[in-house]
Amino acid sequence: MIMPERQQAAFALTNLHLIDPSAGLDEKGAILVEDGKIKAIGANVAGQLPEDILRVDGGGKIAAPGLVDMHVTTGEPGAEHRETLRSASHAAAAGGVTTMACMPDTDPVIDDIALVDFIKRRARDTARVHVKPYAAMTRGLEGKEMTEIGLMLEAGAVALSNGRKAITNAQIMRRVMTYANDFGALIVHHPEDPDLVGNGVMNLGETSTRLGLPGIPSEAETIMVARDTRLAQLTGCRYHAGQISCAESLDIIRRAKDKGLDVTCGVSINHLTLNENDIGLYRTFYKMSPPLRTEDERLAMIEGVADGTIDVIVSAHDPQDVDTKRHPFAECADGAVGLETMLSASMRLVHDNQLSMTQVIKALSTTPASLLGLDAGSLKPGMPADIIIFDPDLPWVMRRDMLKSRSKNTAFHKSKLSGKVLQTYVDGQQVYHYDPS
């Protein structure tokens, strides 16, 4: 990681509103950091600090565990013009993301131990935040031949995924799940049946009809979620639906959890804060997979986070450049960048009293860290000092030229947001500081 030399001397972050869902912490206090780890935290820390210790005044703002984003696509290797690990890590640091799990759909695909090792080495040499690679479940993401799961996990892959491509062959999926269960590995699947998607480009309904665009039925998602949960029951594996967008998918996940299955799911910040009407007059930055749904479905997703059925919120960061986005809506690529806006967009839900601050931080940090088995998502003493300080009320207007990502395909261009990351620390080193000028 490109960082200043490790801070050996202790320092303290003071005058903070501490929020840590892993410890049930929600109080005023300070954090003592020593040798890259959290030494002490709480209301009594400030009064026990040595007089000569370096103090950083937090101005009464919120301090929370660094965010852990379970769904980040980069262009490295193969499409570095869209995003590199370096540029993605700069965007992540600015958005308060201290750990990003990178999808395997690169060129070449991360389906071999050499590619897992490549991502780890490139991240070590160029990235400002922690980078954890996923391993592909099938060769070339083609859904036909299973990869060497055990070897890639041993090489450092954090979980298994098939990227944007769902595995349609149930027998192959069963085999992958069986092997994953033997290793205790997490399956992260994109539940969208490509045959039911067909040539669809947005949510099927009145809006797609009015715009004259082919629609994608919600069944493309729900049928796949239902199949996957049944296979998870058959194999006993740990299964995570990477992104859901429909109330019916939520019901399927809820029933699976009620049965005691080791099943979890995530939702993108886009599907929590946007709906199909935002597409307007064919705005291509709103073309996503899964597609933006109706307002009722969006509200159902928020309810799912609130009641704990949805475990994780992700950015679904997917950089696309002008060559893939500046086309007619039906022909352009899916995806939007989101690392830098995920937390700020989440504050909309807090300010509207739809979610509490603790619920948001838990879904953005604590739970994804737990699912991936990482030493992250917590401010408990002894944990790595991956910390963010942010002002949830600071108003700002998002503009594409502000983005640190190489690609500028944000769904929040010219949006009025409240909430800004002020400082980001990784292993006790400051990797981002907000400069309002």
Q: What is the DSSP string of 255-296?
A: HHHHTT--EEEEEEHHHHH--GGGGTTT-GGG--SSPP--HH
- First-last CA distance in the chain: 26
* pLDDT value for 9: 79
The type of residue at 61 is: K
* pLDDT value for 436: 87
pLDDT digits (tens, 9 = 90+) for 226-283: 999 999 999 999 999 999 999 999 999 999 999 999 999 999 999 999 999 999 999 9
Grouping H, G, I as helix, E, B as strand and the rest as coil, residue 120 is: helix
| CB of 346 closer than 8 Å to CB of 362 | no
| CB of 29 closer than 8 Å to CB of 18 | yes
* pLDDT value for 416: 97
Q: Which ranges of 246-388 would DSSP assign to H, the alpha helix? A: 247-258, 269-273, 295-307, 322-325, 342-351, 357-361, 367-371
Query: Which contiguous run of DSSP H or E holds residue 39?
Result: strand 37-42
pTM as predicted: 0.96
For residue 1, the 8-state DSSP code is: -
Residues of the chain with pLDDT under 70: 1-8
Ordered domains of the chain (ranges, CATH): 11-63+384-433 (2.30.40.10), 66-371 (3.20.20.140)
| CB of 19 closer than 8 Å to CB of 25 | yes
pLDDT digits (tens, 9 = 90+) for 31-65: 999 999 999 999 999 999 998 999 999 999 999 99
